[in-house]
C-alpha cells in the first residue's frame, strides 16, 4: 500500500500542483480535458482511495487514471501506474465490498449436482441443451439453480474476480415468456469484470454482450453485461492498462449502433480492435462454438465506409417506405 504522500506525488507528476480537498478524500488538480486557461482552477477531483476521477466543469468521468494517462501522459506513465497500483487499477474488491456485497441465493445449487427428479432442474437442463451447451459447460461455468421466487426457473451463472471472489451473477429465464429474460443482482455493473478469473489481459480479449454469448466463445473472453463501454467501466480501464487487443462481438442488431461507437472509443486510445460479424445468427448465443470460432477467424477492422453505406441504405429504405 502506498502512503497518501506517495499518491499525491504521483498525481502531481502528471497533472501539476494540486490540493487536497477539505473532505480529505479528494485531490483536486487542473483538468487536462477542458484545460482551463486559469491554471489555478482545479476542477478535476481524484479520489485518493481508488483513483476514480471526474471533472466538475466538462463532466469527464473515469474509474481510474489510466484513460487520462493514455491521453495526456506517456506509455511510461501507464507502466509506472501499473506498478504503482499492483496488478489491478483501483482496489476493486475493496470497492465492491464497501458499495455492494454480492451473494448467491442462500439455496444456490450447482445444476450438475441438483436432483434430476426436480421438474425445474429437468427444465433447466433442457434449456441448457437447447442452447447447444453441454454438461462440461455446466460444470465449467458453475451453472446453478435456486428455488427463491425471484430466481426460480432460471439458470444462474456466477462470476468471479481475479482473486476468485464472487463479483456478480446473472440469471437467465428458462421459460420463453418470462420477463425480464435476464435478472441480475441490484448492484452497479461498472466495476464488474465478468469472470475476470479466467481472463488473460495479455492476450486478445473477445467482448460479447451477455454471459450466455460468452460460453460460445472458445477464446479469452468476457461479457459487457450490456452493450456499452466507456471510461466508467472497469473493463475499459483494464484493457487500457494492459494494452489488450480486442475482438468486439456485440449482437447483430448493434452493428450500426453500438458497435461503431465502441470501436471509436477503443480507437481513441489506439487499442487494436477487430469486429466479429454475427448478423446472420443474431447473437453469439445462437451460434455453435465452431460457427463462432469461424466468425472470429474472419473478424476484421471496422471499415467506416461500410458503416456509412449501411446507414445510407437504411435511410433510403425508410424514406422509400414513407
Ligand atoms: Zn474538465
Helices 234-242 and 258-268: crossing angle in degrees, nearest 10, is 40
Query: How many angstroms does the Cα of residue 45 sit away from the middle of ligand 1?
Result: 10
Query: How many angstroms does the Cα of residue 260 sit away from the middle of ligand 1?
Result: 25
Paired strand residues for 44:
29, 55
Instruction: Give the whole-angstrom CA distance, residue 173 versus residue 189.
Output: 20
pLDDT at res. 134: 95
pLDDT in tens, 86-138: 655 544 444 444 556 899 999 999 999 999 899 999 999 999 999 999 999 99
3-state percent helix, strand, coil for the chain, nearest multiple of 5 = 35, 15, 50
Find how far residue 304's CA is from the centre of its chain.
Answer: 24
Percent of the chain with pLDDT over 70: 91
Burial tier of 148 (Cβ tally within 10 Å: 0-12, 13-18, 19+): exposed
Which stretches in the chain have pLDDT values below 50?
A: 90-97
pLDDT at res. 312: 73
| Backbone CA torsion sign across 197, 193, 27, 14 | positive
pLDDT at res. 93: 44
Query: How many angstroms does the Cα of residue 269 sit away from the middle of ligand 1?
Result: 18
Exposed e or buried b for every residue in 158-176, given b needs 16+ CB within 10 A? Answer: bbbbbeeeebbbbbbbbee
pLDDT at res. 318: 65
Q: What is the DSSP string of 203-248?
A: S-EEEESSHHHHTT--SSEEE-SSS---TTSHHHHHHHHHT--EEE
Cα distance between the two ends of the chain? 63
Query: How many angstroms does the Cα of residue 60 sit away from the middle of ligand 1?
Result: 6
Query: How many angstroms does the Cα of residue 71 sit away from the middle of ligand 1?
Result: 13
pLDDT at res. 92: 45
Query: How many angstroms does the Cα of residue 194 sit away from the middle of ligand 1?
Result: 30
pLDDT at res. 96: 45
pLDDT at res. 77: 87
Query: How many angstroms does the Cα of residue 68 sit away from the middle of ligand 1?
Result: 11
Paired strand residues for 246:
205, 273
Is 15 in contact with 30 (CB distance < 8 Å)? yes
pLDDT at res. 320: 60
pLDDT at res. 248: 98
Query: How many angstroms does the Cα of residue 28 sit away from the middle of ligand 1?
Result: 11
Query: How many angstroms does the Cα of residue 53 sit away from the middle of ligand 1?
Result: 10
pLDDT at res. 219: 84
Average pLDDT of the residues of the chain: 90
Amino acid at each position: 500500500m502506498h502512503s497518501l504522500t506517495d499518491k499525491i506525488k504521483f498525481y502531481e507528476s502528471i497533472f501539476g500542483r494540486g490540493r487536497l480537498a477539505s473532505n480529505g478524500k479528494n485531490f483536486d488538480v487542473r483538468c487536462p480535458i477542458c484545460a482551463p486557461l486559469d491554471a489555478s482552477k482545479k476542477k478535476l477531483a481524484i479520489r485518493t482511495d481508488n483513483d476514480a476521477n471526474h471533472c466538475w466543469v466538462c463532466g469527464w468521468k473515469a474509474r481510474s487514471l489510466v484513460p487520462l494517462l493514455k491521453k495526456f501522459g506517456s506509455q511510461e506513465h501507464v507502466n509506472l501506474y501499473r506498478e504503482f497500483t499492483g496488478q489491478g487499477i483501483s482496489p476493486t474488491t475493496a470497492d465492491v465490498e464497501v458499495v455492494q456485497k454480492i451473494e448467491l441465493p442462500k439455496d444456490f445449487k450447482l445444476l450438475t449436482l441438483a436432483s434430476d427428479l426436480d421438474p425445474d432442474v429437468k427444465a433447466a437442463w433442457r434449456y441448457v441443451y437447447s442452447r447447444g451447451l453441454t454438461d462440461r459447460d455446466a460444470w465449467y461455468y458453475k451453472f446453478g439453480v435456486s428455488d427463491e421466487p425471484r430466481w426460480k426457473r432460471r439458470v444462474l451463472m456466477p462470476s468471479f474476480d481475479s482473486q476468485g471472489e464472487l463479483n456478480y451473477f446473472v440469471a437467465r429465464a428458462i421459460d420463453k415468456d418470462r420477463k425480464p429474460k435476464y435478472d441480475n443482482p441490484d448492484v452497479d455493473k461498472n466495476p464488474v469484470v465478468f469472470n475476470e478469473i479466467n481472463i488473460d489481459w495479455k492476450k486478445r480479449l473477445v467482448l460479447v454482450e451477455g454471459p450466455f454469448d460468452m460460453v460460445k466463445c472458445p477464446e479469452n473472453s468476457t461479457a459487457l453485461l450490456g452493450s456499452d463501454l466507456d471510461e466508467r467501466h472497469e473493463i475499459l480501464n483494464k484493457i487500457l492498462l494492459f494494452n489488450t487487443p480486442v475482438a468486439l462481438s456485440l449482437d447483430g442488431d448493434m452493428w450500426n449502433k453500438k458497435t461503431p461507437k465502441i470501436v471509436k472509443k477503443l480507437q481513441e486510445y489506439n487499442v487494436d480492435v477487430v469486429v466479429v460479424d454475427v448478423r446472420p445468427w443474431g447473437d453469439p448465443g445462437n451460434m455453435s462454438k465452431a460457427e463462432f470460432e469461424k466468425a472470429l477467424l474472419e473478424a476484421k477492422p471496422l471499415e467506416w465506409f461500410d458503416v456509412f453505406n449501411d446507414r445510407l441504405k437504411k435511410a433510403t429504405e425508410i424514406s422509400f417506405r414513407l
